[in-house]
Amino acid sequence: MIKQASITVVIGLALLQPVMAMHNSAINNNCDRQCLYGFVDRYMDALVDQDPSRLPWADHVIFTENSVQLKVGDGLWGTISGKRDYDLNFADPEHGQAGYFGVVEEHGIAAVYTMRIKIRHNKIKEVETVLSRPHADSPFPAPDNLVEPDPIMLSTVPAEQRRPRARMLSLADGYFDTLQLNDGTLVRTTPAPASLTTTRSGSAGPVRRRCRPARIRG
């Protein structure tokens, strides 16, 4: 369960990162945390009903599924048959974004689904989705086992234990850099010490040059 929770946290952090340089600074947005959660609920309800017309779309929308840009209404919109109770939401009011991680069904077969949505002026501007169907090479090969979130994912982190926003984003970047290196080294990005990084065994080693993998462009 701890491993599953860790993967979910990383996915949430990665999805909520601004995907273009122009989004790196805070943008005034009149949609607070609860407003963003409301958009997530509305989106998922419309998705299950296969009816994108129920949603308030911006004039120009970027919609992707598994790194492929599609027209709104294509992809999972045409194959979804239901949504299960496993449900995690993430919100980023500073940038007007929210995320969802849960389990959907296609013709009754479970699949892990995660989504980032961006709201501007109370309209949906971007939707970035990843659908992980069950197969041997999937990071979630047994979605039927996802019945309810680990309690740690639903708990509120005490204020004194919270990390700065930049640090949280750097940890997500470090996770993907670690996957790309694939040599057992855990990459820890700034503000880590300039000459040390933590390896799997806990010993110190030289910092690897960061090679940023390709990101899904929403």
Same domain? For 180 and 141 the reply is: no
22 with 114, same domain?
yes
d(CA 146, CA 151): 13
Same domain, 37 and 130: yes
Our count of domains for the chain comes to 2
Choosing from 155, 174, 193, the residue where a domain stops is: 155
The set of residues, in sequence order, having a beta carbon less than 8 Å from that of 40 and lying 6+ positions away, is 89, 98, 99, 100, 115, 117
CATH number for the domain including 12?
3.10.450.50
Domain boundary among 140, 155, 170: 155
pLDDT the model gives residue 131:
96
Regions in the chain scoring below 50 on pLDDT? 1-7, 9-10, 13, 18-25, 192-218
Dump pLDDT digits (tens) for 166-176: 888 888 888 88
Q: 103 and 14 in one domain?
A: yes
Same domain, 193 and 121: no
Q: Where in the sequence is the domain holding 39, given as residue range(s)? A: 2-155
Give the span between the Cα atoms of 107 and 130, in whole angstroms: 18
The CA-based angle 137-139-142, given to 5 degrees, is 85
User: Phi, psi (5° rounding) for residue 203?
Assistant: -85, 165
Residues 116 and 67: their CA atoms lie apart, in Å, by: 13
Do 48 and 145 have their domain in common? yes
pLDDT value at residue 189? 59
Does residue 125 sit in the same domain as residue 53? Answer: yes
pLDDT tens, 9-56?
A: 445 545 555 443 334 445 556 899 999 999 999 999 999 999 999 999
Query: Are both 73 and 115 inside the same structural domain?
Result: yes
